[in-house]
């Protein structure tokens, strides 16, 4: 039975929530006993290697697999023609019929690295040997690589079946934008470039599929973080959904959005059914970087701000172009989700937002941590800094003057989302104090007086949480989905031990710890005795998967709802057995006693035994046992967008304020962090170490995007950053020590006041770091409006 | 990413290693540390028919010190050199360079000789070898020969080591300093991250007669600016000729910038390399000079 | 295919197998010995997830071939616990400080940190970051990893 989120409780001293607790998952990982997709072994398991396209755009005229097939150990070879004849295209979220995406190229390869042929062999090394023997003949075609060039109607079409390379273009106008611009004393316009990068986990995508003809069941084990993963496999293979079982008890080696290997999974599932053996594909790093369709947002922003002489911004126009690569998939929606926080933390009255998605001959994009919020915040925060500089105030002050005030909550932004709660000035003040902002200014000014290059950057960003994916409907009015659920199953056995089952795979977010902590809190028992397991997709409940900083919110509340329902049943069992009305009984720790009366009580174990063993002591009609399912819709969800694109996006809004001070080596352009401090507010904290880890990890990703990480293509469309030697991820040396302080403005929409926290660091850090660089460059009259900002860029600005 | 199928031998003598390599008809590769070759094998950029593992040859393992200098056998690990007091004493420039090479795991396996012979134009040890006039000891079916480092590097990743030859070791001449002389060294690198290959690096060794306040010997080099390490002889001459050497350092750096013709690539533009090479060279000169002077206070 | 008989002592146990020359030490540990704690993240010697101890020192097992380890001693993450269940002090410290999230880089981190503490029982934060610079983590931002190693050092984990 599905109900709305359980009602919020009064804040009170928690026993387990908010307390330090060793995360339960950590034990198996430090023992080296995690169970990742590549660790799964099955009898007769075969392995896949891929023959990729060498051209960015080419007609495939012939494929000769004869030598490959003859190699001992090779089970078979599949080309795109065979695969496409027997599967349906992968799901597109935009309304773009005729744009078809399959795991293997058909008669046209659309990017260098696109998968053309799949080899199945007894060992991966042999499959690679066979891949070397496949001969593919190509007729190269002109390629389009620049997103603005792709908007030209004369550019080479990536999908000739579509009218142009523009897959989506819409302008939203919320409020009197033109009038507000006309009336504003000042305006500025800037272009920002967020270059292509991604959160690139250390584990590549891995998937094993096994088709069992005896039961007509497809079993899938994958390194997955994706909504409707079983559904999309079933769709592509023409299987009933109850014939696909995805095992969510696979440990995922990091995802941060990107583990969406739907083409990998469909390919491997097809191969298993086709060849009658279990098949495993573990992407190697080159396959992943070049052809895994796992790049992130690749954006151009043109932003105009209309503001007054005090730096108060009245209106904003944002135009964003996103280079999707060759196959759009879900990625264009990363321009939709930011609509739910399009004014950031600021009381901007009107907004015009134009979103354009284009295809080019590159590998595809995928969801990345923040789902488009990180580049959008980068552009908004950089604009606020420019406004500040123009009116002669500092970066802190401009934000103070523009913040939505604490008394204004819940605050509805022009695009229709209500922010639930927050106190931005208080959080900013905490960050300012922790960073000793005034001290940093003195440090910076003294450094400048010595001829050194130093700067301070600020970012203050909203982190929406909850995962109401109504941006699907916003960008495609044929998509009427409004249900984005999460469920939890809880049971208490006859010996009194508690188990819960969740229908998601975890990639380091600590869901088992989250659920057991909440259950421990509700039941008032030690969480370490509570077992949380991951169901498969058949045994599990409806789930929108652990994306969008949503699990604390929705899985948390589904868990709390289930626990309260069971606790209520236990009370009624005890009351019945004690011969009194439930209203006359109360919990006292783990015991139910009669209120104010004699010492009659029933212990936890007694109640469990009655429930499971002594039917004669149960109230008539009561179900035996203690087990329940609880499914909730994302809070505040359930409404479709209006005709002008206004909608309540996510329910909960976390917030953080970052202060970064850095120095730049004048001779090399190298950045050295002097201080990094932040305050963050994610509502009620459930596990402090997990929260701190999420923030810190997001910051590290953000430093990567700000200074190091970029997927670079050459003029012929070859990815030249294919290895981890060229795609540079921050190590212990590049991520500084970070000082952190918390603030809690509980959400009114969740049972414990908890909000989300998984994405906020990444959404804010690039803006703060590049902002600090720009502050450092300000005496030179230069600035950088792109990410990453490399030493080469910086040195050019200094000389 | 799995390599092609190759045969593998692990000979116990130099003669056996040479015989195995020449028997492979040009299709064999020596593996010592494997830190450069391993990735190439895994990515199938290298496709040898035979891998000759030299890690079991006893005479390759030693660091030998003589009056003339120091010799590294072919399998001496970078980590071992990093910790060696002999290296610190006789080739301090190498001691300065070693921490910049990769990370602990890299240096635990990677070898001094292997890095010099692999000749990556952005690597640290080839630059040290070039600055210190190292000599590569080579042996093959036709016999053994010594190759001075200036003749060893022929261009981008190209060396005077034939496909059937084995590098036995590398000698670094390091004659004793005169009584009043002190040595200062500096190795400065600009890389995107700690441990990465250099975008540019500057190496300086300067021997100063403190009594006469005269430069006796100076070695200047840059890496990352050409297909092979750049030994800046003209700059060395400028310093030897200068009556007040530190006053000449800025000019030397400017001259270096004019003398090099670096390439643009993914990680840096030519202009960046040129500018940073000059900056690092000047800083390295200042640091090495200071160390030479300060060395006296601790003598 | 070139196959070789090798003898390796892995986590104290002497093991004899026949392997193709091209099989990496990492793949040998994972596939032949079913010690899947050692992970592969790049197979070109950058990420450090595959770090094991080879004759006592941390190396990248993706670019060492199993045949090269014939006659050698190898320690993997599975060898850190004295009995496979009890956590070593370093492992315990990582749990205590939550010096991990997804766990994929963790075995490599533990092997690198074990070697560090053995040589330098009381490292500074900078020394810890230096020694772990060859192990990339995408989850934690490293801070809680550094804290974990510090906690282990304080508890006298050096053996």
Chain C within 8 Å of A285 (Cβ-Cβ)? yes
Residues C70 and C97 in one domain: no
Residues A302 and A328 in one domain: yes
Domain assignment of residue A6, yes or no: no
Which residue of C37, C95, C129 is in closest CB contact with A22?
C95
Q: Which of A348-352, A541-545, A596-600 is the most confident on average?
A: A348-352
Q: pLDDT averaged over chain A?
A: 96
Q: Do A41 and C143 touch (CB under 8 A)?
A: no
Chain B within 8 Å of A720 (Cβ-Cβ)? yes
Q: What is the mean pLDDT of residues A215-232?
A: 97
Q: Give dist(CA A729, CA A281) in Å, integer.
A: 25
What share of chain A in percent tops pLDDT 70?
A: 98
Q: Which residues of B touch A792 (CB under 8 A)?
A: 267-269, 272
Name the residue of chain C whose CA is nearest to B40's CA: C44
Q: Which of C79, C112, C132 is the last residue of a domain?
A: C79
Q: Give dist(CA B108, CA B35) in Å, integer.
A: 10
Name the band, by pLDDT with cuts 50, 70 and 90, for residue A1. very low
Return the partners of chain A (3 or more C-beta pairs < 8 Å). Answer: B, C
Of the candidates B172, B169, B144, the residue with the CA atom closest to the CA atom of residue B60: B169
Residues C48 and C115 in one domain: no
Residues C70 and C113 in one domain: no
Residues A714 and A746 in one domain: yes
Residues A700 and A764 in one domain: yes
Residue A74, SS3? strand
Q: Which residues of A touch B192 (CB under 8 A)?
A: 708, 728, 790-791
Name the residue of chain B whose CA is nearest to C55's CA: B108
Residues C75 and C7 in one domain: yes
Q: What is the mean pLDDT of residues A425-433?
A: 98
Q: Which residues of A touch C134 (CB under 8 A)?
A: 731
Query: What is the signed CA dihedral for B260, B266, B272, B278, rounded to 10 degrees?
Result: -50
Residue C100 neighbours by CB under 8 Å, 6+ apart: A26, A29, A30, A508, C94, C106, C109, C137, C139, C140, C144, C145
Name the residue of chain B whose CA is nearest to A730's CA: B193
Q: Which residues of A touch C78 (CB under 8 A)?
A: 31-32
Q: Which of A341, A369, A397 is the last residue of a domain?
A: A369
Chain C within 8 Å of A709 (Cβ-Cβ)? no
Residues A542 and A456 in one domain: no
In this structure, what DSSP letter does residue B242 have? -
- For residue C69, CA distances in Å to A301, A585, C134, C145 come to 53, 69, 21, 30
Evaluate whether C98 touches A28 at the Cβ level (below 8 Å). no
Residues C94 and C70 in one domain: no
Q: Give dist(CA A799, CA A782) in Å, integer.
A: 10
Residue B271 neighbours by CB under 8 Å, 6+ apart: none
Domain assignment of residue C84, yes or no: no
Q: Which of A583, A603, A633 is the last residue of a domain?
A: A633
Closest CA–CA distance from residue C67 to any residue of chain A (Å): 16
Q: Give dist(CA A506, CA A562) in Å, integer.
A: 20
Domain assignment of residue C159, yes or no: no
pLDDT above 90 for A362: yes
Residues A346 and A404 in one domain: no
Chain C within 8 Å of A72 (Cβ-Cβ)? no
Specify the pairing of strand A186-194 against strand A299-307.
Answer: antiparallel
Which residue of A129, A720, A792 is in closest CB contact with B269?
A792
Residues A412 and A497 in one domain: no
CATH of the domain at A355: 3.90.1170.50
Chain B within 8 Å of C120 (Cβ-Cβ)? no
Domain assignment of residue A156, yes or no: yes
Residues C71 and C94 in one domain: no
CATH of the domain at C115: 1.10.150.120
ipTM for the complex shown: 0.98
Which residue of B194, B196, B268 is in closest CB contact with A792?
B268
Q: Which of C79, C103, C130 is the last residue of a domain?
A: C79
Instruction: List chain B pLDDT tens, one digit each, 299 residues.
Output: 999 999 999 999 999 999 999 999 999 999 999 999 999 999 999 999 999 999 999 999 999 999 999 999 999 999 999 999 999 999 999 999 999 999 999 999 999 999 999 999 999 999 999 999 999 999 999 999 999 999 999 988 889 999 999 999 999 999 889 988 999 999 999 999 999 999 999 999 999 998 888 899 999 999 999 999 999 999 999 999 999 999 999 999 999 999 999 999 999 999 999 999 999 999 999 999 999 998 765 54
**How many contacts (CB atoms, under 8 Å) link B and C?**
89
Residues C70 and C109 in one domain: no
Residues A403 and A291 in one domain: no
Which residue of A32, A697, A723 is in closest CB contact with C44?
A723
pLDDT above 60 for A6: no
CA A733 to chain centre: 26
Residues C7 and C72 in one domain: yes
Q: Give dist(CA A348, CA A354) in Å, integer.
A: 17
- What are the pLDDT digits (tens) for A444-484? 999 999 999 999 999 999 999 999 999 999 999 999 999 99
In this structure, what DSSP letter does residue A551 have? I
Which residue of C44, C100, C141 is in closest CB contact with A30?
C100
Closest CA–CA distance from residue A335 to any residue of chain C (Å): 25
Domain assignment of residue A5, yes or no: no
Closest CA–CA distance from residue B259 to any residue of chain C (Å): 34
Name the residue of chain A whose CA is nearest to C81's CA: A31
Chain C within 8 Å of A177 (Cβ-Cβ)? no
Closest CA–CA distance from residue C159 to any residue of chain B (Å): 20
Range of the domain at C34: 3-79
Residues C57 and C27 in one domain: yes
Which residue of C30, C34, C44 is in closest CB contact with A724?
C44
Residues C75 and C105 in one domain: no
Strand partners, A676: A660
Residues A716 and A621 in one domain: no
CATH of the domain at C40: 3.10.20.30
What share of chain A in percent tops pLDDT 90?
A: 97
Structural tokens at position A235: 């769709």
pLDDT for the residue numbered A626? 98
Chain B within 8 Å of A673 (Cβ-Cβ)? no
Q: Which residues of C touch A760 (CB under 8 A)?
A: none
Give helix then strand counts, H and E, for chain C.
Answer: 5, 5
Which residue of C84, C100, C134 is in closest CB contact with A29?
C100
Domain assignment of residue C99, yes or no: yes
Specify the pairing of strand B181-190 against strand B200-209.
Answer: antiparallel
CATH of the domain at A555: 3.30.365.10
pLDDT for the residue numbered B297? 57
Contacts with C, A 671-690, CB within 8 Å: 689-690
Contacts with C, A 123-152, CB within 8 Å: 125
Residues A714 and A698 in one domain: yes
Which residue of A254, A724, A761 is in closest CB contact with C42?
A724
Q: Do A792 and B196 touch (CB under 8 A)?
A: no
pLDDT for the residue numbered C159? 45
Name the band, by pLDDT with cuts 50, 70 and 90, for residue A517. very high
Specify the pairing of strand A786-787 against strand A186-194.
Answer: parallel
Q: Do C58 and B35 touch (CB under 8 A)?
A: no
Residue B14 neighbours by CB under 8 Å, 6+ apart: B57, B59, B60, B139, B166, B168
Q: Do C67 and B8 touch (CB under 8 A)?
A: yes
Closest CA–CA distance from residue A222 to any residue of chain C (Å): 15
Chain B within 8 Å of A726 (Cβ-Cβ)? yes
Evaluate whether B221 touches B232 at the Cβ level (below 8 Å). yes
Range of the domain at A220: 35-369
Chain B within 8 Å of A405 (Cβ-Cβ)? no
Q: What is the mean pLDDT of residues A582-591?
A: 94
Residues C69 and C110 in one domain: no
Domains recognised in chain B with CATH numbers? 7-53 (3.30.43.10), 58-173 (3.30.465.10), 181-297 (3.30.390.50)
Q: Which of C79, C106, C134 is the last residue of a domain?
A: C79
Q: Do C20 and A23 touch (CB under 8 A)?
A: no
Q: Do A285 and C132 touch (CB under 8 A)?
A: no
Determine if the peptide bond prior to A410 is cis (ω within 30°).
Answer: yes
Evaluate whether A165 touches A323 at the Cβ level (below 8 Å). no
pLDDT above 60 for A414: yes
Q: Do C21 and B195 touch (CB under 8 A)?
A: no
pLDDT for the residue numbered B33? 97
**Chain B positions touching chain A (beta carbons under 8 Å):** 1-5, 39, 43-44, 190, 192-197, 199, 266-269, 272, 275-276, 279-280, 283
Residue A540 neighbours by CB under 8 Å, 6+ apart: A248, A487, A489, A501, A502, A503, A504, A534
Q: Do B6 and C57 touch (CB under 8 A)?
A: no
Chain B within 8 Å of A728 (Cβ-Cβ)? yes
Q: How many CB atoms lie within 10 A of CB B176?
A: 10
Residues of chain C short of pLDDT 50, as ranges, are 159
Residues C133 and C107 in one domain: yes
CB-neighbour burial class of residue B243 (10 A; exposed 0-12, middle 13-18, buried 19+): exposed
Domain assignment of residue A21, yes or no: no
Domain assignment of residue A475, yes or no: no
Total domains present in chain A:
3
Element (H, E) at A49: strand A46-52
Query: What is the signed CA dihedral for A438, A439, A443, A448, rounded to 10 degrees?
Result: 10
Evaluate whether B231 touches B134 at the Cβ level (below 8 Å). no
Q: Which of A369, A403, A421 is the last residue of a domain?
A: A369
Residues A587 and A453 in one domain: no
Q: Do C129 and A254 touch (CB under 8 A)?
A: no
Residues A387 and A399 in one domain: yes
Evaluate whether B191 touches B122 at the Cβ level (below 8 Å). no
Q: Do B275 and A670 touch (CB under 8 A)?
A: no
Chain B within 8 Å of A618 (Cβ-Cβ)? no
Angle at B78 between CA B76 and CA B80, to 5 degrees: 70
Contacts with C, A 722-741, CB within 8 Å: 723-725, 729, 731-733, 735, 737-738
Closest CA–CA distance from residue B93 to any residue of chain A (Å): 22
Of the candidates A289, A380, A306, the residue with the CA atom closest to the CA atom of residue A350: A306
- What are the pLDDT digits (tens) for A124-139? 999 999 999 999 999 9
Q: Do C44 and B79 touch (CB under 8 A)?
A: no
pLDDT for the residue numbered C157? 54
Name the residue of chain B whose CA is nearest to A704's CA: B193
Domain assignment of residue A645, yes or no: no
Residues A171 and A276 in one domain: yes
Total domains present in chain C:
2
């Amino acid at each position: 039975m599905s109900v709305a989120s359980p009602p919020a409780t009064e804040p009170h001293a928690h026993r387990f929530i908010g307390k330090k607790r060793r995360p339960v998952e950590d034990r198996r990982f430090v023992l080296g006993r995690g169970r990742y997709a590549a660790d799964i072994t099955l009898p007769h398991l075969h392995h896949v290697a891929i023959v990729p396209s060498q051209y960015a755009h080419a007609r495939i005229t012939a494929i000769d697999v004869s030598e490959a097939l003859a190699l001992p150990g090779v089970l078979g070879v599949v080309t795109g023609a065979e695969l496409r004849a027997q599967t349906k295209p992968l799901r597109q979220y935009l309304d773009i019929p005729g744009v078809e995406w399959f795991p293997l190229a058909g008669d046209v390869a659309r990017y260098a690295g696109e998968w053309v042929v799949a080899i199945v062999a007894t060992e991966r090394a042999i499959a690679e040997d066979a891949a070397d023997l496949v001969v593919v003949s190509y007729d190269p075609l002109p390629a389009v690589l620049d997103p603005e060039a792709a908007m030209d109607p004369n550019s080479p079409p990536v999908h000739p079946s579509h009218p142009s390379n523009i897959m989506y273009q819409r302008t939203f106008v919320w409020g009197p934008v033109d009038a507000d611009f006309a009336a504003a004393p000042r305006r500025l316009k800037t272009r920002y470039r967020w270059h292509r990068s991604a959160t690139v986990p250390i584990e590549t995508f891995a998937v094993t599929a096994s088709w069992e003809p005896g039961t007509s069941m497809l079993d899938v084990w994958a390194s997955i973080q994706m909504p409707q993963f079983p559904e999309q496999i079933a769709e592509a293979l023409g299987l009933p959904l109850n014939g696909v079982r995805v095992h969510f008890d696979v440990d995922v080696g990091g995802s941060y959005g990107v583990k969406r290997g739907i083409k990998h999974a469909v390919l491997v599932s097809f191969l298993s059914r086709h060849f009658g053996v279990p098949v495993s594909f573990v992407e190697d790093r080159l396959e992943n970087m070049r052809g895994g369709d796992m790049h992130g947002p690749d954006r151009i922003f043109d932003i105009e701000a209309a503001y007054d002489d005090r730096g108060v911004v009245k209106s904003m126009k944002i135009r964003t172009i996103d280079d999707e690569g060759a196959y759009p998939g879900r990625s264009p929606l990363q321009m939709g989700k930011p609509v739910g926080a399009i004014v950031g933390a600021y009381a901007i009255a009107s907004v015009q937002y134009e979103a354009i998605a284009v295809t080019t001959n590159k590998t595809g994009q995928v969801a990345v941590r923040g789902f488009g919020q990180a580049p959008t915040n980068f552009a908004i925060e950089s604009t606020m800094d420019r406004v500040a500089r123009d009116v002669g105030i500092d970066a802190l002050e401009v934000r103070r003057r523009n913040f939505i005030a604490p008394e204004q909550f819940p605050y509805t932004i022009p695009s229709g989302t209500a922010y639930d709660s927050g106190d931005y000035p208080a959080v900013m003040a905490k960050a300012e104090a922790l960073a000793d902002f005034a001290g940093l200014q003195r440090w910076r000014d003294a450094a400048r007086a010595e001829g050194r290059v130093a700067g301070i950057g600020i970012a203050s960003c909203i982190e929406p949480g909850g995962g109401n994916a109504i941006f699907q409907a916003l960008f495609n009015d044929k998509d009427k989905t409004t249900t984005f659920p999460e469920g939890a199953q809880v049971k208490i056995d006859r010996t009194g031990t508690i188990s819960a089952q969740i229908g998601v795979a975890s990639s380091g977010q600590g869901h088992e710890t989250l659920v057991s902590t909440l259950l421990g809190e509700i039941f008032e028992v030690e969480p370490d005795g509570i077992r949380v397991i991951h169901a498969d997709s058949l045994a599990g409940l409806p789930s929108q998967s652990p994306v969008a900083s949503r699990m604390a919110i929705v899985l948390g509340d589904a868990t709390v709802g289930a626990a309260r329902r069971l606790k209520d049943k236990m009370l009624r069992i005890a009351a019945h057995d004690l011969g009194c009305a439930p209203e006359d009984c109360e919990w006292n720790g783990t015991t139910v006693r009669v209120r104010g009366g004699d010492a009659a009580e029933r212990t936890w174990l007694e109640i469990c035994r009655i429930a499971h063993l002594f039917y004669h002591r149960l109230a008539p009609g009561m179900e035996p046992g203690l087990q329940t399912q609880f499914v909730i819709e994302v809070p505040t969800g359930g409404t479709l967008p209006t005709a002008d694109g206004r909608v309540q996006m996510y329910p909960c809004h976390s917030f953080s304020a970052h202060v970064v001070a850095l120095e730049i080596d004048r001779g090399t352009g190298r950045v050295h962090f002097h201080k990094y401090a932040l305050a963050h507010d994610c509502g009620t904290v459930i596990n402090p170490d997990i929260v701190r880890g999420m923030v810190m990890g997001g910051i590290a990703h953000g430093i990567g995007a700000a200074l190091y990480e970029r997927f670079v293509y050459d003029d012929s469309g070859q990815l030249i950053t294919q290895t981890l030697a060229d795609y540079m991820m921050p190590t212990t040396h590049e991520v500084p020590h970070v000082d952190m302080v918390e603030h809690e403005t509980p959400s009114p929409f969740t049972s414990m006041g908890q909000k989300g926290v998984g994405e906020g660091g990444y959404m804010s850090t690039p803006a703060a770091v590049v902002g600090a660089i720009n502050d450092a460059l300000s005496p030179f009259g230069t600035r950088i409006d792109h990410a990453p900002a490399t030493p080469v860029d910086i040195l050019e600005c200094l000389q | 990413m799995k390599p092609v199928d190759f045969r593998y031998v692990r000979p116990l003598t130099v003669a056996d290693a040479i015989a195995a390599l020449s028997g492979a008809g040009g299709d064999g590769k020596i593996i010592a540390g494997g830190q450069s070759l391993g990735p190439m094998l895994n990515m199938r950029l290298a496709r040898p028919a035979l891998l000759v593992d030299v890690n079991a040859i006893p005479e390759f393992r030693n660091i030998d010190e003589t009056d003339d200098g120091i010799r590294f056998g072919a399998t001496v690990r970078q980590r071992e050199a990093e910790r060696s007091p002999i290296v610190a004493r006789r080739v301090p420039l190498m001691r300065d360079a070693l921490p910049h090479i990769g990370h602990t795991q890299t240096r635990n396996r990677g070898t001094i000789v292997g890095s010099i012979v692999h000749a990556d134009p952005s690597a640290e040890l080839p630059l040290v070898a070039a600055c210190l006039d190292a000599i590569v000891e080579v042996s093959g079916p036709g016999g053994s020969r010594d190759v001075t480092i200036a003749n060893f590097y022929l261009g981008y990743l190209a060396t005077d080591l034939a496909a059937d030859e084995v590098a036995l070791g590398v000698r670094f001449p390091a004659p004793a300093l005169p009584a009043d002389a002190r040595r200062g060294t500096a190795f400065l690198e600009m890389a995107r991250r700690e441990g990465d290959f250099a975008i540019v690096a500057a190496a300086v060794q300067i021997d100063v007669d403190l009594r006469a306040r005269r430069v006796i010997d100076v070695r200047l080099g840059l890496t990352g600016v050409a297909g092979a390490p750049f030994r800046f002889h003209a700059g060395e001459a400028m310093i030897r000729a200068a009556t007040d050497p530190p006053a000449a350092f800025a000019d030397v750096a400017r001259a270096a910038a004019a003398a090099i013709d670096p390439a643009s690539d993914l990680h840096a533009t030519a202009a960046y390399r040129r500018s940073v090479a000059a900056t690092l060279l000047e800083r390295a000169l200042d640091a090495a000079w200071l160390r030479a002077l300060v060395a006296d206070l601790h003598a | 295919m070139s196959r070789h008989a090798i003898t390796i002592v892995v986590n104290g146990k002497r093991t004899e197998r026949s392997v193709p020359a091209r099989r990496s030490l990492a793949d040998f540990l994972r596939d032949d010995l079913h010690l899947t704690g050692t992970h592969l993240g790049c197979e070109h010697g950058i990420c450090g997830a595959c770090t094991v101890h080879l004759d006592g020192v941390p190396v990248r097992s993706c670019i060492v071939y199993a045949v090269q380890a014939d006659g050698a001693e190898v320690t993997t993450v599975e060898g850190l616990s004295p009995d496979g269940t009890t956590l070593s002090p370093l492992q315990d410290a990582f749990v205590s400080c939550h010096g991990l999230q997804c766990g994929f880089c963790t075995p490599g981190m533990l092997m690198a940190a074990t070697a560090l503490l053995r040589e330098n029982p009381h490292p500074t934060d900078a020394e810890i970051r230096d020694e772990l610079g060859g192990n990339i983590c995408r989850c934690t931002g490293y801070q809680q990893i550094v804290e974990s190693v510090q906690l282990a050092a304080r508890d006298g984990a050096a053996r």
